[in-house]
């Protein structure tokens, strides 16, 4: 799977928690050219273009790694579930 990010929006937003403004970047995430979700990332005011691009690259890499790990985990869960089913069927069976 190939993931890409596209900046869909960028504006100045306000954080009620710490009463400060920040750059809010709407990031569309694509898998093989299909939009799969939109995430919003926050950056301090004054962050320059290259810093934002670098952080987005890191975010996409982390996103991709997390997706790969969740797929592997799901496969392990499926195998574990199948193994429990086999164990239940075999438990107490007499083999001749």
* pLDDT tens track for 23-82: 999 999 999 889 999 999 999 999 999 999 999 999 999 999 988 888 888 777 887 888
Positive or negative: CA dihedral 66, 68, 72, 75:
positive
**Alpha-carbon distances of 25 from 50, 71, 83, rounded to whole Å:** 14, 28, 45
What pTM does this model have?
Answer: 0.70
Domain ranges of the chain: 3-90
């Amino acid at each position: 799977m190939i993931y890409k990010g596209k900046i869909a929006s960028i504006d100045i937003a306000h954080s009620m928690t710490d009463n400060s403004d920040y750059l809010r970047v709407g990031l569309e995430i694509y898998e093989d050219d299909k939009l799969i979700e939109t995430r919003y990332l926050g950056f301090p005011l004054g962050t320059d273009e290259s810093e934002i691009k670098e952080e987005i690259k890191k975010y996409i890499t982390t996103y991709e790694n997390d997706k790969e790990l969740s797929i592997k985990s799901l496969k392990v869960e499926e195998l574990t579930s199948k193994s429990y089913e086999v164990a239940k069927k075999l438990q107490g069976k007499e083999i001749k």
